[in-house]
Amino acid sequence: MQKIINFYDIVIIGASFAGLNCAKALGNSNINVLVLEKNNELGLKPCGYGVEDEDIQFIPESSMNFSLKPLVIVTKNKKHRMPTNQSLISSICRPDFLNKLKNELSEFKNIDIKLGQKITNIEKNKLTANGLEINFKYLIGADGSFSIVRKFLGLETKKFIAAVHYTIPKVYPDFEMFVDEQLFDKGYAWIFPNNKFTSVGAAVDYKSPNLPLLTQNLKRWIEKNNIDISKGKFAGSIINYDYQGYKFDNIYLAGDAAGLASGLTGKGMYPACASGYQIAKEILGEKCHLIEDWLKIKDKEEQILELDTNFLELKLQIIEK
């Protein structure tokens, strides 16, 4: 379908993991779906690009840059390689994966995907995109931490993680996470290799006194570890974990728009994919509990934020016992 009509059963705002997986689950149904993406390219969001073994349900290992390998946790310059049955990790090339998924969706006649769409107005049953009014039965906000759908619903975002990183043209051998409470409080730094580059970054919680110094502290940590960022590209992002629900009458929120990322680790790809899939299944009248199952994990992880320890050190303590 090439032409945008003025009515769709479902309009999805956002063509990333949540939005495209939602659309995929609706493929070949009798429901006509429109996916609107504000950018002209997919996969522009800055992130560490890391994926774990549990993500295989939505991100097959064949799409990963490396075979899944143990995570390395570094505390006070000592490296701890996690057991092979825990914390397996790899990475993906985000734009390549999302474009491949978008191409798969082009095979479904009931799905339209439009890039470069500026949403200027949202109402209960209609919105305006690039000056064209579009009516819908259901609206799904899969448009990230700064979701305009979330804003339309009047939901504030008070809980978030700030993350900054450099992508450098060197591929490191291991996936490493670093404890440095002086610089990153209960947050962490990371070195995550990709296919042609490595993401070197850090993240802290909104409550951390280190938040205003995050970029400065990352540079200090990079210098201390003799990492060359002279040819690196800098980027930052906000990860929303302020979950307040995902269904609001005929409007749904998925992924970061719903605040489904982990407030402890910032993990967002799996809950994005899972929530997009569940929302589609619910609209189709099928039962699914992926969101509820994830919320149990998310809640347990975020309880650790109240403890007087860094979660990486706690993880090591639990395994060593």
pLDDT of residue 25: 97
Least confident of 3-12, 79-88, 94-103, 145-154: 79-88
Percent of the chain with pLDDT over 90: 81
Does the structure show a pLDDT above 50 at 144?
yes
Please tell me the total number of residues recorded for the chain in this structure: 321
Question: If pLDDT is split at 50, 70 and 90, which confidence band does 317 have?
Answer: low
Does the structure show a pLDDT above 60 at 2?
no
Does the structure show a pLDDT above 90 at 85?
no
Does the structure show a pLDDT above 70 at 290?
yes
213/204 Cα distance (integer angstroms): 10
Tens-place pLDDT, residues 155-184: 999 999 999 999 999 999 999 999 998 999
**Six token digits for residue 169:** 């043209």
11/137 Cα distance (integer angstroms): 8
Does the structure show a pLDDT above 70 at 82?
yes
Whole-prediction pTM value?
0.93
Nearest alpha-carbon partner for 271 in 251, 248, 247, 297: 297
pLDDT of residue 123: 94
Q: Domains in the chain, start-ordered, CATH in brackets?
A: 7-45+94-156+243-306 (3.50.50.60), 50-92+158-240+308-320 (3.30.9.10)
Phi and psi dihedrals of 75, rounded to 5?
Answer: -125, 120
CA distances from 77 to 41, 52, 73, 74, 182 (A): 39, 24, 10, 6, 14
Question: If pLDDT is split at 50, 70 and 90, which confidence band does 321 have?
Answer: very low
Cβ atoms of 186 and 205 within 8 Å: the answer is yes
Cα-based torsion angle of the residue sequence 98, 100, 105, 111 in order, rounded to the nearest 10 degrees: 50
The Cα angle at residue 12 between residues 49 and 91, in degrees rounded to 5: 10
pLDDT of residue 5: 59
Tens-place pLDDT, residues 255-289: 999 999 999 999 999 999 999 999 999 999 999 99
User: Looking at residues 186-191, what average pLDDT do you find?
Assistant: 93
Residue 90's H or E segment, with its range, is strand 88-91
What value does the mean pLDDT of the chain take?
92
Among all chains, which residue has been given the structure tokens 């970061």?
256
49/18 Cα distance (integer angstroms): 15
User: Looking at residues 237-265, what average pLDDT do you find?
Assistant: 97
34/287 Cα distance (integer angstroms): 23
